[in-house]
Each structure stands twice: as C-alpha cells, then as structure tokens.
Amino acid sequence: MNVPTYSPTQAWKALAALSLGFFLALLDQTAIAVALPTIARAHGVDYAAATWVATGYLLAVVVPLLATGRMGDRFGHRRVYVAGVAVFTLGAAGAALSASLAMMIAWRFVQGLGASLLIPQTVAVVNQVFPPERRGRAYGAWGVVGSAAAITGPLLGGVVVSALGWRGVFLVHIPVGIVAVILGLRWVPNLPVSAVPIDPLGVVLSLLGLGSIVLAAQEGPRHPWLWILAPVGLAALVFFALRQRRSDALVPLRLFAVRNYNVGMVTISAMGMFSAAGLIPLMAWLQDARGLDSASAGALATPMAITALLLGPTGGFLAERVSPAIMHGVGFTLLSVCFWAEAWIFQARASLWIVATVLVVIGVGQSCIWASNAAAALGEIPGEDMGAASGAYNAARQVGAVVGVASVGAVMTAFGTVGAVLLLAVVLAGAALLSLRFQRGHGPAQHAD
C-alpha cells in the first residue's frame, strides 16, 4: 500500500487535530476521579457504587481496542477517529444530562467506546504522515499531550466541580469535542485503506477475552467471585490467537515477526503498570506515615509531571538519534533505581525533599521511554497493518495499567508499601534488561529470532 508524502505543515496540523481528541480521552480518566465523591452524594450511593462511573469508562476504552484499531485500517483512520470523537462527545452530553446513576454509567460506556475508537487512530496516522526521521519528535509531542492531561485533569476537575457541580465535568467536553471533530475533518488526511474484511468471531473473542481479564483484575479484589472470569478470558484469548492466521485477522501474526514490535509490546505494558500504579504506594505512605492530606500528597507529585511535560520534546528529539536500546535502558534503569530508593525512603522516613528529588528523576526516566517506545515498536509496521498494530499496542499499555493497579494493591495489602515499590522496581529492572533486544533502524523490518 503506497502512502502519500505529506509536508511538515500538513503532518503537524494532523497531529494537532489528533492530539485534541487524544487529550480529551485522557483528561476524562484523570478529571473524573475528583468528581466521584460529589456524584456519590448527589445520587445517594456509596463511593464504591460511584466508582463504576470511572470503571465503566475504562472497560469501554480497553476492551474493544483490538477491534477498533483494525477498524481504522479497514474503514479509514480519519473516518474512525472523527466518529470516535463524535461518540465520545455524545456520551459526555448524555452523562451530563443523566437523571440516575445507572443512566450515567450507561452513557459512560458510550463515551469510553468513543475513546476506544479514536485512540488507536492517533498513533496510526502519526506513523504514516511523519517520515521516520521526524517521528521521534511527533511522538514526543504526543507524549506531552498525555502528560498535560495528567496534570490538567485533577486541577480542571476540581475547579469545574466547584463551579458547576458534577455535571460540569462532562459538559466541558462538549465544545472541545465539537472543535476536535471539525479539525479532524479539516486537518487529518484520508489515508489508504485495507480491503481485508474484519473477522466477526475474532471481534467477539477479543471482547470476551479482554473484557473478562480486565473486569477480573479491576473488580476482583473487591468481589473475589469475579476472579472466575480470568481463566475464561485467557481461554477466549487463546482461541482468538489461533484465529489470527486467517487473512481477515484483527491482529495479524506477521506483526510479531518484527522484533522491535514484540519488545515494544512488553515494555509498554511495563510502562502502563508504572504510570497507573507507580504513585499508589507513595501516596499511601505520605498520607498514612507522614500525615499529609490528599491534596498535599498530590501536590508533591507535581514536579514529576512537570519534568515529564518539559522533557517530552527532548525525549522525542533523542529518539530520532539514539538507539532505542540505550534510551530504554537508561529510562527503565532510572525508574527501577528510584523505586528501590522509595523502599529506603519508607523505612528511613527520609525528608520530603528527598522524595521530591526522586520524583523529578522519575520524570526524567519516563521521558526517555515514551516517544522512543512508540517510534521503535511501530516504526517498521506497514501502513495496511498500522491500525491493528496500534490497537494491540494501546491494549497492551492499558492491560498493563489494570494488572499493575491490581497487583500493587494486592502486594500492599500483604507486604505493605515497601513490598509494593520493590515489585515495581523488579518489573522495571526486567524491562531494562529486555530493552537490550531493541534494534536500531527504520528500514526493513527486523524479524524476531
């Protein structure tokens, strides 16, 4: 499949349009947490019931990713992206106007489905409109959008809920979503599409497999009977994998002949675990052992987010010039050492200045990884498979996040905060070693041994 060449202006305008939708999808995940207590009080339910407003969205984002990624290949990335933003915006409007918690949760599923449609298309389009020698900077900018959403979400959520109530946290998405649809239609190019049909049974198996595993990991700690879904999900994914030899596969097995894609899938799962669960033990220690309130503990993490935000473009620039093995080795080693340091901090009750310093180094470490990982993992994937590859890539990151939260929570219950950070340190050290398998170059695909 021949992909047209795009000017730098066209490529950056496409990235700007895509980034707006991507920002909305990530902002929602962080902003909603601030509104949950207010939602619980407004509907007369306990906090556990209100968390389904967040859980429903997460399930709807993660579970369809294998299918929604392939839909971009089949029906056009711009078309699926714009449809995703429109569905997301519709879901936000429905949630804002909901008269009951059940109705709100249903609309949150709609909103999450929209996010699942749009997220894989952002990576797929970036990889095709930017030449290999410029993708690092593009992915660096893409990573900055994620960091900005992580910083802005809780702050914006707090301000909006205070000013407009819980409905406001959904209403703010509507005008931005409309702008994102318009920019998507104007600035995102029409890329060539694949004529390969989508396997309906493969879609069902992927939904059953990912849905069962994510639901078990997310809710199993509170409802142990849900762990029965884990083997059901694994069995469904085994049958799903067996079907991927077909010509209409959702995730063609030829993707896994590319070594960098294999390594990138595992390492992005480790990053998903880190990004979702990395702060949980520290926040618990700051509040339980040091007596900080939740706002003060959260503020202490701000230097990490700001460091990642500021260094994101630098990480993208270096990703174009430095071997991914070196970038990942440095990044994961820094992250692992920092979590070993946190174990010492917890036991020694070290100064909060030391905590802040460690968090800044964590920001440096993750800045070495995000752009380099996307550029290395997806840089050698052909255009006709980019949606499928992006969907699986994002699914790996999200599953890593869900499993990370569940496993860190379980280890904290059994062994405390020290045990939890040591688990993270070991996982990240393993990722550093695996990163040595990355190969440099954007030429012909490097096949696994």
Query: Secondary structure of 258-289 in the HEC alphabet?
Result: EHHHHHHHHHHHHHHHHHHHCCHHHHHHHHHC
**What is the predicted pLDDT for the residue at 298?**
77
Residues 6+ apart with CB under 8 A from 162: none
The mean pLDDT of the chain is 91
State yes or no: pLDDT of 159 exceeds 80.
yes
| Element spanning 241, H or E | helix 229-242
Q: What is the arithmetic mean of pLDDT over 45-68?
A: 90
Distance CA 193, CA 196 (A): 9
pLDDT exceeding 70 applies to what percent of the chain?
97
Q: What is the arithmetic mean of pLDDT over 217-237?
A: 91
Q: Which residues of 368-385 are buried (b: 16+ CB within 10 A; e: fewer)?
A: bbbbbbbbbbbbbbbbbb
How far is CA 19 from each of CA 28, 137, 218, 247, rounded to the nearest angstrom? 14, 14, 28, 32
Do the beta carbons of residue 397 and residue 272 sit within 8 Å?
yes
* Token pair in block for residue 7: 């000017």
Alpha carbons within 13 A on the beta-carbon side of 260: 23
Do the beta carbons of residue 185 and residue 76 sit within 8 Å?
no
State yes or no: pLDDT of 444 exceeds 70.
no
Going by C-alpha positions, the residue among 218, 265, 212 that lies closest to residue 238 is: 212
State yes or no: pLDDT of 354 exceeds 90.
yes
Which residues sit opposite 258 in a β-bridge? Answer: 447
* pTM score: 0.89
Which pLDDT tens digit goes with each residue over 251-290?
999 999 999 999 999 999 999 999 888 988 998 999 889 9
Distance CA 370, CA 354 (A): 25
State whether residue 291 is helix, strand or coil. coil
Which pLDDT tens digit goes with each residue over 172-214?
999 999 999 999 999 999 998 887 788 999 999 999 999 999 8
State yes or no: pLDDT of 443 exceeds 50.
no
State whether residue 18 is helix, strand or coil. helix
Report the 10 Å Cβ neighbour count for 293.
10
